[in-house]
């Protein structure tokens, strides 16, 4: 059996059936729809045996679940090149089995038969290196093939020679290994999308309950607290995705007073800790990623609260500081915006204090050793510094020094607009904000087709749309979505807007659904939704030309405003 000809198994002869058991076969999507690569859409019995996963766990999961994480980005980048070849490429890479064990396998990859000039899937095979037959021509080590030479490494007719995929840049891999824990990244990437879907269900139901509870009831107060906690969970989900992708920091000018005030109320809610907040007038702006800076304050405040299990007072202060070359904090001279988090807890022993920012070091029995290490990494990425002082039985103080930005407060308006959200039609001209629970109104009742495979998310979204006065149709996969849209296209009740989830199971993916809908109706209005849109869509989705994108979990206001925008 020539691996160059491997495709979906077709057991037409006894010999073919027997040989199929010798090689593991996977079929994956044609593009990376998740941070851990393309999803697996087919796996034969041998693949399930070799990976240790059942079909329900393997099919639908990203390739990064089982494929060598150190080479995953390299492979994804080469998919367009592989799609243009008629033969197959090969690589010797690790297989990650269920449970975490690894073995180096001989992998092959080739595009499936193209439809309309586009590759819809790739077929992969893998088997132990010692079981791989010797090629007719001398083998070439993967690292020895220059990047630019790969597309031309063709064998004589009639069948092209396999092309080795070059090894990833070692400096890049070393840097990634220094900043990310592979096991934690795998776990985060595996649950982040499901976590966002759960948050979407919670958010939609909370907002509907809040709109029905009245603004001054005790129930409304409880719902407000729940919404604050939900906002924090959303931030955690974004951090999980950023961690799996190794995202770079975004950069905007902002006032950290917003983060400080929010964390003061959120982290002490429902606890026996009270917070004394002091924000100095004229607090200088900083430039960087407000979400990552909030993560720092969140971690520090949580640690402070945990150090006072019987309750106490947390002092949270934000101010300005101009440091000279010689200063007691051993921080580079300059103008800083400084945040102090001070508790009256148990304190940290002096012999332990120098190690608290080390990776994998924790004073807690159940601690990961990741929290303070990530705080230091984030602050230093912003060209700042973090310092700690503590005394056992007295308490601990953390100081976060962030370089001040010279930009004036009045120019902050653009930084206050949330990313990846379409601006509201009901924005207050003075504040620049649209209050919670006052969604922009669509002039007429719309008929919305919701394409969503998760039943709880589908039900919650239907509830929100009906609450806004819209009619709903639904589909749980791409084929049903296309069929439903076409059925209503020439009727008296056509679909006005399609709310399309990008990660659909099997069959057509989100981009393919949009392409099919445009064939039926070139003017179709589609809002693409996904839990992976927080830091912008990937290249394939950007190039697809969707009228609008909406990141999960989206609010009632976000949804209403987006519908208004696409209809106008």
Pairing label, strands 24-29, 395-405: unpaired
Tally helices (H) and strands (E) across the chain: 15, 18
Q: Kindly give, in sequence order, each residue whose CB lies less than 8 Å from that of residue 492, ignoring residues fewer than 6 positions away.
A: none
The pLDDT value recorded for residue 241 is 57
H or E element at residue 123:
strand 121-128
Q: Which of these, 442, 441, 448, lies nearest to 472 by C-alpha position? A: 448
Residue 111: closest CA among 178, 163, 44: 163
Copy the structure tokens of residue 273. 């800790």
DSSP class per residue in 461-502:
HHHHHHHTT-EEEEESSHHHHHHHHHHHHTSSS---EEEEES
User: What are the DSSP calls for 405-431, one per residue?
Assistant: E-S-GGGGGGGGSPTT-PPPTT--TTT
Give the single-character DSSP code of 9.
-
Judged on CB neighbours under 10 Å (0-12, 13-18, 19+), 534 is buried
Interatomic CA distance for residues 368 and 296, integer angstroms: 16
Residue 483 is predicted with a pLDDT of 92
Cβ-contact 416, 431 below 8 angstroms? no
Instruction: Supply the pLDDT for residue 427.
Output: 36
Residue 432 gets the label, from left (phi > 0), alpha (psi -120 to 50) or beta, of left
Three-state SS letters, 304-350: HHHCCCCCEEEEEEEEEEEECCCCCCCCCCEEEEEEEEEECCCCCCC
**The residue to which tokens 């190690």 are assigned:** 355
**DSSP result, 126-173:** EEEGGGSPPPSS----GGGS-GGGGGG--PSTTSPPPEEPPPPPHHHH
Residue in this structure with the two tokens 């000018």, named with its chain if needed: 253
Instruction: Decide: 496 and 567 in contact? Cβ < 8 Å.
Output: yes
Q: What confidence score (pLDDT) does residue 234 get?
A: 67
User: What's the pLDDT score for residue 373?
Assistant: 83
DSSP 298: H
Task: Find tokens 């308490």 and name the residue.
Answer: 395
| pLDDT tens for the chain, residues 1 to 568 | 233 333 333 333 333 443 445 789 999 988 887 777 888 999 999 999 999 898 888 988 889 889 988 888 888 888 888 887 777 788 889 999 887 788 899 999 988 866 666 777 899 999 998 765 544 433 333 333 233 333 333 333 344 455 555 444 444 444 444 434 444 444 455 555 567 777 787 888 888 787 777 666 667 667 776 766 676 666 666 665 555 555 555 678 999 998 898 888 766 666 678 889 999 999 999 999 888 898 899 889 888 888 888 888 899 999 999 999 989 999 999 999 999 999 998 888 888 888 888 876 666 555 555 678 888 888 998 999 999 999 998 999 999 999 998 765 444 443 343 333 333 333 343 333 344 444 444 446 789 999 998 888 888 899 889 888 899 999 988 889 999 999 998 888 899 999 998 877 767 788 889 999 999 999 999 999 887 665 556 677 778 889 988 888 888 888 888 898 888 7
Q: Which residue has the tokens 């602050």?
A: 379
Closest C-alpha to 199, from 172, 150, 239, 232 = 232
d(CA 397, CA 391): 9
122 and 38 in contact (C-beta within 8 Å)? yes
Its pTM stands at 0.47
Burial (CB count <10 Å: 0-12, 13-18, 19+), residue 54: exposed
Determine the pLDDT at residue 245. Answer: 52
What's the pLDDT score for residue 112? 82
* Rounded Cα gap, residues 97 and 49, in angstroms: 10
**Could you give the count of Cα atoms lying within 13 Å of 26 in the half-sphere of its Cβ?**
31
Lookup: tokens for 393: 């039985």
Q: Measured between alpha carbons, how far apart are the two ends of the chain, in Å?
A: 57
Q: Which domains does the chain have, with CATH numbers?
A: 3-165 (3.30.450.20), 186-223+436-568 (3.40.50.2300), 251-415 (3.30.565.10)
Burial class (CB in 10 A: 0-12, 13-18, 19+), 566: middle
């Amino acid at each position: 059996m020539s691996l160059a000809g491997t495709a979906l198994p077709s057991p037409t002869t006894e010999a073919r059936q027997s040989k199929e058991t010798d090689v593991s076969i996977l079929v994956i999507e044609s593009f990376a729809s998740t941070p851990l690569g393309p999803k697996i859409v087919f796996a034969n019995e041998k693949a399930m045996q070799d990976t240790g996963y059942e079909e329900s766990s393997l099919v639908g999961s990203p390739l990064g679940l089982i494929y060598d994480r150190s080479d995953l980005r390299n492979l994804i980048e080469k998919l367009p090149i592989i799609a243009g070849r008629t033969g197959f490429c090969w690589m010797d890479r690790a297989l990650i089995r269920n449970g975490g064990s690894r073995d180096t396998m001989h992998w092959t990859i080739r595009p499936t038969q193209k439809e309309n000039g586009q590759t819809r899937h790739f077929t992969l095979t893998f088997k132990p290196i010692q079981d791989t037959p010797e090629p007719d021509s001398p083998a070439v080590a993967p690292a020895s093939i220059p990047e630019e030479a790969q597309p031309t490494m063709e064998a004589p007719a009639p069948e092209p020679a396999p092309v080795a995929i070059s090894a990833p840049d070692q400096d890049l891999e070393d840097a990634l290994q220094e900043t990310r824990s592979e096991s934690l990244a795998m776990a985060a990437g595996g649950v982040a999308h499901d976590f966002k879907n759960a948050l979407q269900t919670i958010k939609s139901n909370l907002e509907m309950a809040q709109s029905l509870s009245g603004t001054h009831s005790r129930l409304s107060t409880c719902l407000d607290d729940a919404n604050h906690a939900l906002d924090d969970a959303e931030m955690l989900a974004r951090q999980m995705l950023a961690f799996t992708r190794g995202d770079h920091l975004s950069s905007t000018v902002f006032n950290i007073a917003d983060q400080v005030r929010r964390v003061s109320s959120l982290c002490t809610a429902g606890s026996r800790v009270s917070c004394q907040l002091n924000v100095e007038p004229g607090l200088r702006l900083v430039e960087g990623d407000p979400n990552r800076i909030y993560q720092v304050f969140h971690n520090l405040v949580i640690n402070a609260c945990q150090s006072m299990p019987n309750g106490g007072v947390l002092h949270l202060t934000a101010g300005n500081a101009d440091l000279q070359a010689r200063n007691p904090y051993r921080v580079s001279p300059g103008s800083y915006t400084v945040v102090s988090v001070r508790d009256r807890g148990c304190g940290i022993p002096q012999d332990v204090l120098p190690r608290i920012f080390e990776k994998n070091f924790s004073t807690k029995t159940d601690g990961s050793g990741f929290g303070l290490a990530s705080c230091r990494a984030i602050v230093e990425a912003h060209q700042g510094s973090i310092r700690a002082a503590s005394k056992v039985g007295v308490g601990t103080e953390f100081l976060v020094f962030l370089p001040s930005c010279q930009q004036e407060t009045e120019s902050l308006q653009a930084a206050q607009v949330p990313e990846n959200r379409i601006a509201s039609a009901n924005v207050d001209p003075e504040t620049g904000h649209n209050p919670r629970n006052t969604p922009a109104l669509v002039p007429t009742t719309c008929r919305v087709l919701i394409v969503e495979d998760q039943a709880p998310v589908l039900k919650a979204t239907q509830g929100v749309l009906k609450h806004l006065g819209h009619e709903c149709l639904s589909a749980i996969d791409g084929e049903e979505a296309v069929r439903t849209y076409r059925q209503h296209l020439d009727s008296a009740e056509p679909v006005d807007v399609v709310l399309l989830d990008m990660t659909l199971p099997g069959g057509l993916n989100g981009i393919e659904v949009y392409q099919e809908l445009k064939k039926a109706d070139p003017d179709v209005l589609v809002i693409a939704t996904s839990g992976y849109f927080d830091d912008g869509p990937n290249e394939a989705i950007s190039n697809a030309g969707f009228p609008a994108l909406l990141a999960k979990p989206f609010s009632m206001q976000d949804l209403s405003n987006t519908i208004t925008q696409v209809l106008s």
